[in-house]
Structure 1
Amino acid sequence: MKICLFIFFIFAPFAHAAPLDDARDAFNQGRYSAAISSWRSAPARNLGVQLQTWRGMASAYWQLGQFQAAQSILEQALRLARKNQADHAQVLLLNEFSKLYLAKGEQAQAGKYLQQALEMAQTLEATENSTLTSDTKNTHKLLAELFNQQGNWLNITYDYNGALAAYAKALANADKDELHAKIQVNRVQTLYEQALFNLYPGADMAHLFQPIIQALQKTLPLVQGWQDQYSEVLALVKLGKLAGDIRTQLLTNEASATTVSVLDAIAKQTLQRAIKSAEHLQHPHAKAYAYGYLGRHGLHTGNIKQALSLTRRALFFTQQSGSNKLEYLWHRQLGQLFKHQGKLDAATNAYRQAITSFTPVRARDATTGYCAKTEGFRERIAPVYFELADLLLQQARITSDDRQRDKLQRDARSSIESFKSADLQAYFQDDCIIMQQQPQAVETWLDEHTAILYPIVLEDRLELLLGFQDGLFQVMVPVSHKQLRKAAHLLLAGLRHHPAPATRGSIGGAVAANCSPGVRGTMPMQTDTQVWGFLEHAQVLYQWLIEPLREALDSRGINTLVIAPDGALRTIPFAALHDGEHFAIEQYALAVVPSLTLSTKQSASPPRQRALLAGLSEPNQGFSALPCVEYEVQHLHKLYQSSQDTLLNQAFKVSEMAAVLDQEDHSLVHIATHGQFSGNLEQTFLLTYEGKLRLNQLEQLLESTNIAGTQIDLLTLSACETATGNDRAALGLAGIALKAGVNSALASLWKVDDVATPAVILEFYRQWHTGITKARALQQAQIKMLKSAEFVRYRHPYYWSAFLLIGGWL
């Protein structure tokens, strides 16, 4: 967990009545709801008291995870400060907005408010210096806080040099007081993270970390006697944890026993100081952190019995606080400790409780008073789910009881399904995405020739669960998470780039004539042998993911393989995996499901239904023309004849889409335009004639059709691409169709050549119209690109393997 210390000034005693003192005391003890009640009852005697009260309430709502309420109160306070031209208060409030957005993981908004605060504060400084006013000292204190926040923001964006420069400016503006010490704490943390970021194989770890150990030792004496006692506890926890983390790094690199021993003592003594201060403060959250992280240190140093006692106390104080946002940390830690003792049932129960207590959308890194690094969801939360699955799968592999094995395998899969549901909720910031059914129900949907491949990527191995009509089949592959991720990256690096970039998009002449596959498709393309270098990695991944299952698949006559990938596997085209002679698509029709429990039972639908065809072929808003979009839409227009509505170029607007979907029931929506699926929901869009169609807008448009009673059977997104190497971008691609209630989606992992795209897409529709399933239709279209003389130019998998069928495969 990566944390940077925030600075608050709301804890100083108020100069007025008891309700304000009560609010301050309640806040400092972690009783946030009580603090809000006291602040609400306090009279607003003047502008300063009113603004400080609102800042306090916003901070309390923030600690409770109620970010919208905190934002609303800060907006009220900022309006009042502007109305009264309270410049210093405006700067403070803008900085509070920056902290709030950083805690929510919205880095761009955090940076925007921080920049406004800095510009205003620097203007105040210049004015005060020129007029020799008495507010200069306060302004310097403001600048110290702002530069500290800038350091936090830059740290979170991995600009460590920039962060250290910002902390230096903050220290230059701060007095030698508590604020100065807090900035030093953040500086030491950043030095450590910079060292980790720049680490290289064979580095002299002891030499690398020695300056950081010295800075840590110099900072520790500064953390004492703070007025803000809660921040003092958290600073001690942070420094104690840092000492333990450096110790762990040095242990793995055979550092001197003396250095390791010194760090062990620093970590233990610092965390014991934190416990003493937390007990004096009587703040349950503070006590939970202090006891919990000393327990964590015991886990890492092998003092298991003491670690269990400390972790249980951390759990007790978390529950005493009335907030469950830390529970998952301590339940997971108990699971690790029980596993270390060989108490597998107790470990399993602890992990289950960790998952039960976790709230994905509202949960943030649970370090109240700190800003949390916006790590990937997997890095922060997934270990709880995957460690439980790991435990269950180990037991499944050794049990001789068939019924027990089946239950353990299904429970392991359910654990990963819970994670996937939480992952989607976190991506869309929407906890209305809920599981539809237990995963085991999915097998009942399969026919005798269809199987579900469920890969579970663990740190030290890959577990493959293959689901048939009559049960699960488990195979363990000895390949680590890092090895698998590297192979996936190398495969994509060889596939995403055009094999003959000089020819890309050079169609010339009239679109309708030159976008036809017959014009260029029969002309072989001269390519360098290097463009087939991806095959090495395609074969490695095939050997890991499919070859171990071939006997089971072949013996049952499986011809359709539905895959539920996770992590780096979400970004790879399974169709391009290769057994040394054939591509996987030649052996199986393939479909991808983001989650089994979030899927709904499918039934084959007739392809000749009413279609909405939309596209943008003209250059627009800085994006290049897509000439073959017009060709693609025109041919689909002919295919669907009178059962279609077309919105091309200037007609392709959100308002027009809404009107068409409202007037007629559509079961097919085909959108051919530039688009980007990013790991950041705010940067994910489809381009329309008048602007960018965001995912929430697309969701609302498609949901309106579902509400009207006609479920959209297929959503096709042609010419879009998914951010390179971004696991969560692929999550957005799959998740929007699921979230909007669409049966299936057809989309691409990367932007394919403008002429080849309609060749694949139109062939898919032609095949689907023969009455076969969508999965088989896409398989036949891709095989035709690979083998037909009509498409010899497009045999390289760059042209056809990017297209994925997501969701329903029938």
Structure 2
Amino acid sequence: MRLVKKDFEVQRLMLGIGVKVFLFCLLSGRVVGAEQLAETTPAEYRALLHAMGQQQDQLTASLIQTAFQQPEIYPAFFETGALDFVYQNRCTQGFAFFDSLYSSGKFQGDALGALATIRHHEHKNDESLQYLRQALEQRCQAMRPYELFVIKSFEMDTSAMALQFLTRLAALYPDNWRYRFALAVWHSFARQTEITCAMLSRLLNEGHKHWRVYSALGANLCYLGKNHEALTKYQEGLQYCETIADEEGRARMWHGIAETKFILGEIAEAKSALQQATDLAKQIGNQIFFCRLELTASRILIEEQQWLKARDLLISVREQAIRFAEGNTLLRTYYQLMDLNRVIGKWEEAVENTLKTAAVADSIGLKAYSVDMLSIIAVIDTEAGRYEQALLHLRQLEETARQRGTLLHRIPFLLGMARVLVALERYHEAWPSIIAGIALASESGNVAQLLDLQISKSAVLLHTGKLQEAQTQLRETIVSAHKNGKKLSWLDANVLLAEVYMRSGAVAAAQQLLTQLIGELAETPPYNNYLQIMARLAETYVQQNDLLRAIAIYSATADMIASQTHMLSPGSLSALSAEERAIYFGLSRAYLRIGEKEKALAITENAHDLVVRRKQWQARLLRNAEVDENERQRLTSADSLLLALRLQQAAVRSPAEALTLEGQIRSLSQQRSAILTHMLPALPAQTMSPADFHLDEFQRMLRERNELAIKFFVGPAHSLVFFLDGDTFATREIAVGHARLKELLTRINTLLTPTHDPKDSSYHAKLDTAAAYEAYQLLLADWIKGREATRLAIVPDDVLHALPFDLLVMTAPAQPTEFLVQRFVIRNGITFASLQQEAQPLWRVQSLLMLADPALPIATPPALSLHRDEGIFPPVGRKELEAVQKIVRVGRLLTGEQASKMLFFPALQTSDWLHFASHSVGRPSEPLFNEFILAIPPHATSPERAYAFEIFQMQLMTKLAILSGCETARGTFFNGEGFEGFVQAFRAAGTPSVIASLWKVDDHATAEFFKSYYEELLRGKSTNTALQSAKLKMLADTRFTVLDWAAFNYYGNDWQVEMPKAGMPLSYRIILITIIIALTAVAFFYSRRRLQIVKE
């Protein structure tokens, strides 16, 4: 079992909606089967199915013609015959065939059902519903028209009339049990699942056995969470279908078993059952059913982390669903695409596919379900840490529901509102939602939701200072959770109670409670609860000044965090960072308080390095690199055992027992490392890791370069600062954290806000120099004053990644403005280790690659797209390209249609200098999907993209990459992991130096900036110093603003380079001179020869 953070109310909501999608698809299947009770399926009908499975069209047509010439016709022939006309794109001929059969006065009910099927696939809904109504009045024998009638009634918003119609017919013809089956289906679509299960069970108890009844009952039981009961019904149905030789029914039962096994987490059994269903489906040739089997296969692929295969399969299913006008299959396809994107952390596409799911649901009459799907958007935003967007979507959802006259699932909605508002620390706004939700949950008897709301209420009481009320509420919640067996709610409430104790000053009580919780945890506890308990337990020892004990707990937890790097999906990794950072921050601060500065620094280095290693692993998974599942299971088992031992270690008091446990942990850790090494042979080596960092060597480098180095580690309310120069190592804890720093950056200019909208007008707003001076005083002044260094190396953290330190103001507001860039040559790093560099010989640039001005689309793509980069692309990079080409020689130029992925990637891997001057898109909450926009391929409607996760997996010889596209340096800030965009990608791929932008800069200003940059390089300045000179030149030019030059940050090593000058390459000049000499010689000898001939 993997350690994962799970919001179980969200998981319950997602599972419920997912099963409802499955149920809808199941009931709307176009599959035919034996329609007569307890009657063996006729050999003629089985022969027809096999002919369809083998795609023998002539034999299929012959068997259909023969069947309809018989005096008695097996009812399933009607549905199958209609579908065969649909598959062959011969709906007109099929309609004429069954219309003539109806006109003959024979089999009128079933002929009408076949006509309704054809009209349904032709999107002629009014006619289809009319024929279905007549078919049911004629008491048709086939069951499919009964289901289809219910489906169409919900699609066309006539469900109330359908209920009256079915009730009347059921009373009029009590011997026709199919009407009662249709009523059960109606109640299922009306979300009256308990009633549905009771009605379907009654039908089976009365002996009305049919695979459709078993399928509907199994799916509804799954929706109620009664998965084992559902499995039993599917198995009973399978046995019945085998008895009557119903291959179609057997396939459907195996499919139900596969879906249920998947829900139960029994993946191997699910795959086996799905294979059985697939083999049968191939035999009987039902193409639409086969699409649904592929949907189940895609769910399994997602679970097995074969994400690219799952995506390809889902796209194929989507095309088939469109072809067959299968709205229900299309609905589930978009739902699973949404689920896939959530798993891999591609949040924007997840939202886009959720909108498509809701649109399809609305178009087929599932209006309430459509509104429920819109609620998933808020869940996705919350998972991505985008709480402001989540709040906006929740309010839009409420308005949408009001306009449509649809009832929201009110308790989950109020719970979502409460969670988002608490996360945003808007406690007074959260209170009404919490109180209303508690009242509704109490009335409905939903214990799980009531407990979650009570915990949210306690959190509000805690953060508003009402500690006694919070304690009382939590004690009640803990008792209720224990009584009802809600272990996770019980854990959450206890962790919050421990925090109440700590804030009340009852540190010993908090410590005792947390220690008891450690003993209560199972062998594989929920990961997030584990982090919360260990962090708070360690903090109790900090408050008691038992720092060594706190360090031991923090260290054990940090080891577990590192182990999870290779176990969690990209989406899960991003969502957990806040809790994990709290562990690293607490550990580093504890080391500082006992005077262990080097260990404290090492912890921060490891924390920042962990981000890069995680992204490498995620990139590997996204590239669909195969991971041995047996190795993964062994790693999971080792992690579980390590956790159990560390939990024991945290609680033990005996020195002898502690020593024994330490030995067991060390041995198991070595085994785990061996497994991990075997799993990760293909990960590229980093240019410099914390393991290679040596403080004395780093200080020697600083001394030689006359450079200062400052590193920040930002916490919620405090921050740690580490300062180094050639002779000094100092640290400080400052009373300013994430919230205050974010507010300060916003005051400087809203472009510096980590979550700023790239479409806003802040680029034209004036820089607040007073706020820039305040930031300088807060962050740097005490370290810089009185020092003669000319260079400054900075390792920012959290929101500080959004700050270009160059624009900080060193002079008070009343004095002439002096920017930091006027005093220092500044470079940034991911860690101190990433800034370590030895003296390098002169670098002669051999292969300068430039990509600029790619061929881009000029038409707007479909309106459903949410990506801001899609649409009319303005030309970009042309001015920059022209400016650069006048100064240096570009060895390889990719522009226009040549700026393609096929040419870019190979060129990138063979170039030592890259200059990328095109559109780029930074996605702050999904940094692995930051993208370069390349040329549009021939006959395509959208351009190609190069993603950050693809760069992560490369091994480059590029020493410096200039990324002048907009926001190439931006990445995730909401969870404190810092920048994770292209800068990290290139650094991880082996590029030691990157120049990247924090916001979009005007094309003219960018061209002028890099013109100056290359000119300074030709004058002999280093790569970092030349950037400073270009900024100073633009600062002195009144045509430009501070924001025109401050966007470009330098990351990594500084180089002394020799650039190839513009003009003809030396080799070409030698060849040309040789040719000229040769031609001159030829001309000379030719003239001499002419002269001799004349003389003769």
TM-score (structure 2 length as normaliser): 0.54
Is 1:218 aligned to 2:440, yes or no? yes
- 1:501 — aligned with what? none
Alignment of 1:544-693 (within 5 A): 544-551=778-785, 554=787, 557-580=788-811, 582-597=818-833, 601=837, 603=840, 605-616=842-853, 621=858, 622-626=872-876, 629-630=877-878, 632-641=880-889, 644-658=891-905, 660=907, 665-679=910-924, 680-681=926-927, 684-690=930-936, 692=943
- 2:146 — aligned with what? none
SS in 2 for 1:318: coil
Are 1:490 and 1:534, in contact at CA under 8 Å, matched by a contact in 2? yes
Q: Which amino acid aligns with 2:462?
A: T
- 2:418 — aligned with what? 192
The 1:718/1:75 distance shift into structure 2, 3 A limit, reads closer
SS in 2 for 1:731: coil
Is 1:246 aligned to 2:460, yes or no? yes
Alignment of 1:362-511 (within 5 A): 363=568, 377=574, 380-393=576-589, 395-397=591-593, 399=595, 404-419=596-611, 421-422=613-614, 432=683, 436-438=688-690, 441=693, 443=695, 444-445=697-698, 446-448=701-703, 449-469=706-726, 472-493=729-750
Aligned-partner Cα distance in 1 for 2:295–2:965: 47
The 1:115/1:39 distance shift into structure 2, 3 A limit, reads same
Is 1:754 aligned to 2:1003, yes or no? yes
The 1:290/1:210 distance shift into structure 2, 3 A limit, reads closer
Are 2:856 and 2:943, in contact at CA under 8 Å, matched by a contact in 1? no
**Which is further off, 749-758 or 542-551?**
749-758
The 1:221/1:273 distance shift into structure 2, 3 A limit, reads farther
The 1:702/1:759 distance shift into structure 2, 3 A limit, reads farther
Are 2:538 and 2:549, in contact at CA under 8 Å, matched by a contact in 1? yes
Using the TM superposition, give the Cα deviation of residue 454 of structure 1 relative to its aligned residue in structure 2, in angstroms: 0.6
Q: Which amino acid aligns with 1:6?
A: M
Using the TM superposition, give the Cα deviation of residue 381 of structure 1 relative to its aligned residue in structure 2, in angstroms: 1.6
- 1:720 — aligned with what? 966
Q: Which amino acid aligns with 2:745?
A: A
- 1:694 — aligned with what? 945
Aligned-partner Cα distance in 2 for 1:533–1:472: 33
**Which is further off, 141-150 or 294-303?**
141-150
SS in 2 for 1:712: coil
Aligned-partner Cα distance in 1 for 2:422–2:521: 31
Q: Which amino acid aligns with 1:595?
A: T
Q: Figure out how many residues of one structure are paired with residues of the other and give that number.
A: 693
Are 2:854 and 2:934, in contact at CA under 8 Å, matched by a contact in 1? no
CA offsets 1:530-582 (integer angstroms, 9 cap, x no match): 97652112211111222110147x1xx42221111122211122111121152
Aligned-partner Cα distance in 2 for 1:534–1:792: 18
Using the TM superposition, give the Cα deviation of residue 318 of structure 1 relative to its aligned residue in structure 2, in angstroms: 2.4
Is 1:17 aligned to 2:235, yes or no? yes
Using the TM superposition, give the Cα deviation of residue 215 of structure 1 relative to its aligned residue in structure 2, in angstroms: 2.6
Aligned-partner Cα distance in 1 for 2:451–2:297: 25
Q: Which amino acid aligns with 1:357?
A: M
Are 1:107 and 1:153, in contact at CA under 8 Å, matched by a contact in 2? yes
- 2:480 — aligned with what? 273
The 1:645/1:386 distance shift into structure 2, 3 A limit, reads same
Using the TM superposition, give the Cα deviation of residue 599 of structure 1 relative to its aligned residue in structure 2, in angstroms: 6.5
Q: 1:307 aligns with which of 513, 522, 525?
A: 513
SS in 2 for 1:720: coil
SS in 2 for 1:490: helix
Are 1:719 and 1:757, in contact at CA under 8 Å, matched by a contact in 2? no
Are 2:849 and 2:892, in contact at CA under 8 Å, matched by a contact in 1? yes
Q: 1:110 aligns with which of 326, 346, 350?
A: 350
The 1:423/1:221 distance shift into structure 2, 3 A limit, reads farther
Aligned-partner Cα distance in 2 for 1:310–1:64: 36
Aligned-partner Cα distance in 1 for 2:342–2:322: 23
Instruction: Kindly name which structure, 1 or 2, has the bigger radius of gyration based on alpha carbons.
Output: 2
The 1:334/1:316 distance shift into structure 2, 3 A limit, reads farther
Aligned-partner Cα distance in 2 for 1:296–1:270: 12
Q: Which amino acid aligns with 1:742?
A: T
- 1:298 — aligned with what? 497
Aligned-partner Cα distance in 2 for 1:272–1:759: 68
Aligned-partner Cα distance in 2 for 1:326–1:199: 21
Are 1:560 and 1:775, in contact at CA under 8 Å, matched by a contact in 2? no
Aligned-partner Cα distance in 2 for 1:122–1:749: 41
SS in 1 for 2:921: strand
Aligned-partner Cα distance in 2 for 1:381–1:272: 31
Aligned-partner Cα distance in 1 for 2:295–2:530: 27
The 1:239/1:105 distance shift into structure 2, 3 A limit, reads farther
Aligned-partner Cα distance in 2 for 1:76–1:616: 33
Aligned-partner Cα distance in 2 for 1:571–1:238: 35
Are 1:195 and 1:209, in contact at CA under 8 Å, matched by a contact in 2? no
Aligned-partner Cα distance in 1 for 2:292–2:911: 54
Are 1:236 and 1:273, in contact at CA under 8 Å, matched by a contact in 2? no
TM-score (structure 1 length as normaliser): 0.71
Using the TM superposition, give the Cα deviation of residue 335 of structure 1 relative to its aligned residue in structure 2, in angstroms: 3.0
Q: Which runs of 5+ in 2 are unaligned?
A: 20-221, 239-253, 282-287, 384-388, 502-508, 623-679, 754-760, 812-816, 859-871, 937-941, 1056-1096
Aligned-partner Cα distance in 2 for 1:52–1:653: 36
The 1:661/1:459 distance shift into structure 2, 3 A limit, reads closer
SS in 1 for 2:849: strand
Using the TM superposition, give the Cα deviation of residue 585 of structure 1 relative to its aligned residue in structure 2, in angstroms: 1.4
Are 1:695 and 1:736, in contact at CA under 8 Å, matched by a contact in 2? no
Aligned-partner Cα distance in 1 for 2:477–2:292: 33
Q: Which amino acid aligns with 1:411?
A: I
The 1:533/1:700 distance shift into structure 2, 3 A limit, reads closer
**Which is further off, 210-219 or 542-551?**
210-219
Using the TM superposition, give the Cα deviation of residue 238 of structure 1 relative to its aligned residue in structure 2, in angstroms: 2.6
Are 1:712 and 1:741, in contact at CA under 8 Å, matched by a contact in 2? yes
The 1:538/1:608 distance shift into structure 2, 3 A limit, reads same
Query: What RMSD, in angstroms, separates the aligned Cα atoms of the two structures?
Result: 4.8
The 1:454/1:194 distance shift into structure 2, 3 A limit, reads closer
CA offsets 1:155-213 (integer angstroms, 9 cap, x no match): 7742121333567899967xxxxxx9xx444122134246558987xx9x3x9724632
Give the % identical residues: 15
SS in 2 for 1:6: helix
SS in 1 for 2:793: strand
- 2:14 — aligned with what? 6
Aligned-partner Cα distance in 1 for 2:612–2:312: 31
SS in 2 for 1:624: coil
Aligned-partner Cα distance in 2 for 1:74–1:24: 17
Is 1:539 aligned to 2:796, yes or no? no
The 1:211/1:735 distance shift into structure 2, 3 A limit, reads closer
The 1:537/1:610 distance shift into structure 2, 3 A limit, reads same
The 1:540/1:341 distance shift into structure 2, 3 A limit, reads same
Using the TM superposition, give the Cα deviation of residue 141 of structure 1 relative to its aligned residue in structure 2, in angstroms: 8.6
Aligned-partner Cα distance in 1 for 2:533–2:303: 19
Aligned-partner Cα distance in 2 for 1:105–1:661: 27
SS in 1 for 2:850: strand
CA offsets 1:50-88 (integer angstroms, 9 cap, x no match): 999998897788778786788789889989999999876
Q: Which amino acid aligns with 2:599?
A: K
Alignment of 1:134-145 (within 5 A): none
Q: 1:807 aligns with which of 1052, 1057, 1060?
A: 1052
